[in-house]
Amino acid sequence: MLEPLPANKPVGRLAPSPTGAQHIGNARTYLLAWLSIRWRGGRLILRIEDIDSPRVKAGAAQQAIDDLHWLGLDWDEGPDIGGPHAPYVQTERIESYREALSRLQFARVYPCTCTRSDIEAAASAPHVEHEGAIYPGTCAGRSALDAVKLGDQPFAWRFRTTDQVIEFDDRVAGPQRVNVRRELGDFVVGKMDGSVAYQLAVVCDDHAMGVTEVLRGDDLLPSTFRQLELYAEFDWTPPTFAHVPLVVGPDGRRLAKRHGDTRLATLRQQGVSAERLIGLLAWSCGLRPTREPVTARELLVDFDLSRVSRERFLFTEPRPW
């Protein structure tokens, strides 16, 4: 039986995409997401974000779960343990996304027949390298009703953003403001093949699962403005947001394969202890003065989100343990 949730306790989530192995950069964000909720006695949900089917790798979801366990992180609801908001795998929640999309069709979307890379990439979160050009509004003259006139021509559903400044206070990155139409442009919510986009799926899930705090990498800051437009349209209360700096390689780019093998699964195989990695990450965040090995649980003693460094962590050493 689940304990009833005290009204003032935060609910957070860990949301790995099984499109590849989890690496040190992901671990740092998960650690902070876990600490930020647990130090206030809140609840955590594990959700597998697997709607980008062509990019999903076999076994990667289970490996992400194993990685998180290895790191010493835990959760109260998830695909492995169930819970009141099941299912916790996005491909099993597609019906709810379709329903949400059909609600948008009355007012805020239009069929877009452009062949553009942002349509192709829409099923995954647009991390830095995937923030493409601003959509020029080519199809914005259409309404949702125009879809029937298109016959067999394939189209994506694009969300009509507002031409106004949206503001929010990020718990880590501070006050943020953007004019979504001018600075980000209309974005894809439904793909040509009938599947839904990351932006829509993540908002539907965070709302349905009662998530009150989203903590993720700061390359998803622009997506938060898109998601806030969706929250407003659905008349749903948005969670609070905390965007933490990324781990970058020597070239200043988001940690990736080109920077060498920093996969958590590899570290495990090499016999590196999770405490050593957590020690390094805690030091990189300014939570500990040295890289002394430490457990995630030990960091709860004096954790405070406001102490987390606002600097990116430049990861240069191949084997800092």
Q: Which is nearer to ligand GLU, 47 or 158 (CB)?
A: 47
Cβ at position 17, least distance to ligand GLU in Å:
4
Helices (H) and strands (E) in the chain, counts: 9, 11
The rounded Cα 15 to chain-centroid distance in angstroms is: 6
Q: Which is nearer to Zn ion, 134 or 265 (CB)?
A: 134
Q: Is 222 helix (H, G, I), strand (E, B) or coil?
A: helix
Is 17 near ligand GLU (CB under 6 A)? yes
Residues 253-312 touching Zn ion, rule: CB under 5 A, are none
Is 10 near ligand GLU (CB under 6 A)? no
CA end-to-end distance (rounded Å), the chain? 41
Angle at 273 between CA 307 and CA 213, to 5 degrees: 35
Binding characters for ligand GLU, 216-255, by CB under 6 A (x = yes):
x---x-----------------------------------
Cβ at position 129, least distance to ligand GLU in Å:
12
Q: Which is nearer to Zn ion, 138 or 266 (CB)?
A: 138
Find the radius of gyration of the CA atoms of the chain: 20
For the residues of 31-80, what is the DSSP string, one character each?
HHHHHHHHTTT-EEEE-B----GGGPPTTHHHHHHHHHHHHT---SBBTT
Q: How many residues in the shown chain lie near ligand GLU by CB under 6 A?
A: 8
* Residue 125 contact among ligand GLU, Zn ion, none, beta carbon within 5 to 8 Å by kind: ligand GLU
Spatial neighbors of 3 by CB under 8 A, at least 6 apart, are none
* Burial of 202 (C-beta count, 10 Å sphere; 0-12/13-18/19+): buried
Cβ at position 218, least distance to Zn ion in Å:
29
Is 16 near ligand GLU (CB under 6 A)? yes
* Residue 104 contact among ligand GLU, Zn ion, none, beta carbon within 5 to 8 Å by kind: none
Please report where in the chains the tokens 């500990």 appear, as a residue.
288
Helix, strand, coil percent content, the chain, rounded in steps of 5: 40, 15, 45
Tell me which stretch binds ligand GLU (CB under 6 A): 9-17, 70-78, 170-178, 308-316. Answer: 9-17
Cβ at position 156, least distance to Zn ion in Å:
8
Catalytic residue positions, numbered: 257
> Which tokens is 26 given?
């992901």
Alpha helices in the chain (DSSP H): 24-38, 60-71, 94-104, 117-120, 198-208, 221-234, 264-269, 274-284, 296-299
* Residue 202 contact among ligand GLU, Zn ion, none, beta carbon within 5 to 8 Å by kind: ligand GLU
Binding characters for Zn ion, 136-155, by CB under 5 A (x = yes):
--xx----------------
Is 100 near Zn ion (CB under 5 A)? no
Is 164 near Zn ion (CB under 5 A)? no
Could you give the CA distance from residue 217 to residue 315 in angstroms, rounded to a whole number? 16
Crossing angle of the two packed helices 221-234 and 94-104, in degrees rounded to 10: 70
Binding characters for ligand GLU, 34-73, by CB under 6 A (x = yes):
---------------x------------------------
Cβ at position 192, least distance to Zn ion in Å:
11
State the residues that interact with Zn ion by CB under 5 A: 112, 114, 138-139
Interface residues toward ligand GLU, by CB under 6 A = 15-17, 49, 125, 202, 216, 220
